[in-house]
Amino acid sequence: MKSSIAALIGGASTALAAVKGFNYAAQEQTRSAFEASFRTAAALEGTEDFTSARLYTMIQEGTANTPIEAIPAAIDTQTTLLLGLWTSSPQSTFDNEIVALKSAISQYGSAFADLVVGISVGSEDLYRISATGIANDPLGVGQTPDVLVNYIGQVRKAIEGTPLSGKPIGHVDTWNAFLNSSNSAVIAACDFLGLDEYPYFQTTDPNSIENGKELFFEAYDKVQAVAPGKQIWVTEAGWPTVGAKSGDAVASIDNAEIFWQDVACELEDRNIDFWWYILEDTGANPSFGVSQGGKPLYNLACNATSNSTSSHSTIGGNSTSPGSSTNSTSSGYQNGTASTSSTTRATGTGISASSSASATSGSGSGSGSSGSSATRSGSASSPSVSSYISGAGKVEGTIAGLVVAAIMAALAF
């Protein structure tokens, strides 16, 4: 009986666990490169359960419509996938995304489908045609709501009767794009919304690191309010370790750690699916990478002591030990030097992604990326050049109730 209860609890825990992962670029990436990145993320101290990857395109770079090689890499490493189809393009180009999607289903079957937690049709297309998006990048290419709704319908039809049938389909965009009532048809067509939110770029707000959590969750709550009944997944978020000052926001390792502890750890506590931006971003400016050479740049463990380049004392904000303080000592990962910095803060939760253009009243601009770091250029790129990885899928809390009921029933014997 005890073993049966333990098995039930374990199964429910797995089902209820939020999906966590990183965004990954498609440029210059091969199957072996994707696999190496997936293994690095899963082995990185503090992110051992970050086993999901977000993609922005189904197409392997340099091909017309060959499925992206992140798929076999994910199968080899059992990395879950939030698939992406690039939509800031005409129908003739989008047709290749559909071809690649169908080919992946045919080629990899259930081994692939079982790892898919969702399908994102487009990324920040609505933002790029908004006034803010155009002001930040007049050359950015987006997509209109009616076309996005049509593309979402095409994806639903493409997966009918396949192993992907029933997988949630959604769209990724910025919070202010979702709040624009002219985009409501897109929300209605989606099973989930993917939120890209970057307080670092909200330069018309007081956006210092102290306000990062508040700005992030204010945006999250607003999107949730206009999409009742929809799952809201965080598809991009982060704080740069290197970069220019953006409004009140300062890029630094210390601030990036604060944002991680305040936002990523709070998202984890709230059981919200999320994909952080980004695993490694060496050479980018601003640079949002959390690691370099397979080593964390700062403490990525939530409410735990861990070696890192900076140390902070966290107070409250954790559902398992509210009001407690956790100290993390640092031994340093870069060049073997230890950091002696230490700050105290209240934990929060905010995640954002990077972009080279500052969003005057929003949080993102474009999804162009280069190399393995996927730095955001603020402009749209071709389908084979802009892809990331992530996954999301959440079972509601009814399973927890079943577990409690099972335990109580067992104790009655």
Q: pLDDT for 213-227, tens place per residue?
A: 999 999 999 999 999
Q: Quick one: 254 and 355 in the same domain?
A: yes
Domain co-membership, 76 together with 157: yes
Question: 186 and 238: one domain?
Answer: yes
Asked if 408 and 273 sit in the same domain, the reply is: no
Query: How many helices and strands in the chain, by DSSP H and E?
Result: 13, 13
Q: Is 5 exposed, middle or buried (0-12, 13-18, 19+ CB in 10 A)?
A: middle
Is 257 catalytic? The answer is: no
Examine the domain organization and report whether 345 and 207 are in the same domain: yes
Statement to judge: residues 109 and 11 lie in one domain: no
Cα distance between residue 239 and residue 168, in whole Å: 29
**Domain membership flag for residue 299:** no
Same domain, 138 and 161: yes
User: CA 41, CA 38: separation in Å to the nearest integer?
Assistant: 5
Contacts of 377 (CB under 8 A, 6+ apart): 355, 356, 366, 368, 369, 370
The one-letter code for the residue type at 408 is M
Contact of 231 with 19, CB cutoff 8 Å: no
Above 70 in pLDDT, residue 351?
no
pLDDT tens profile 69-102:
999 999 999 999 999 999 999 999 999 999 999 9
For 323-341, give the DSSP string: T-EEE-----SSTTPPP--
Mean pLDDT of 146-154: 98
12, 27: one domain: no
Q: Is 218 a catalytic residue?
A: no
Q: What pLDDT is recorded for position 129? A: 97
Asked if the model's pLDDT at residue 152 lies above 90, the reply is yes
**Of the listed 124, 266, 268, 280, which one is catalytic?**
124
- Residue 388 phi/psi, 5° resolution? -135, 180
Among 271, 266, 261, which Cα is nearest to 326's?
Answer: 261
Six-digit token string for 410: 């067992």
The catalytic position among 69, 236, 266, 268 is 236
Residue 369 in domain: yes
* Per-residue pLDDT at 202 exceeds 70: yes
The answer to whether 298 and 308 have CB atoms below 8 angstroms apart is: yes
Q: Per the domain annotation, does 378 fall within a domain?
A: yes
Q: Are 277 and 294 in contact (CB under 8 A)?
A: no
Same domain, 32 and 65: yes
Residue 14 confidence class, pLDDT cut points 50, 70, 90: very low
Kindly report the number of other CB atoms within 10 A of residue 95's CB atom: 13
Task: Name the maximum alpha-carbon separation found in the chain.
Answer: 70
123 is in which domain, residue-wise? 19-294+341-393
| Cα dihedral 117, 120, 123, 126 sign | negative
Q: Give me the phi and psi of 233, to 5 degrees please.
A: -105, 140
The enclosing domain of 169 has a CATH number of: 3.20.20
**Is 289 among the domain residues?**
yes
My answer on whether 228 and 241 are in the same domain is: yes
Q: What's the pLDDT score for residue 304?
A: 52
Q: Do 6 and 96 share a domain, yes or no?
A: no
> What 8-state DSSP symbol labels residue 154?
H
Give residue-wise pLDDT tens across range 286-325. 999 999 999 999 999 997 543 444 433 322 223 332 233 3
68 with 5, same domain: the answer is no
Q: Classify residue 317: in a domain, yes or no.
A: no
Residue 16: per-residue pLDDT:
60
Average pLDDT over residues 159-183: 98
Q: Work out how many domains the chain is built from and give that number.
A: 2
Q: Report pLDDT for 17.
A: 82
Q: Is 80 exceeded by the pLDDT of residue 367?
A: no
Query: Is position 305 within any domain?
Result: no
H or E stretch at 122: strand 116-123
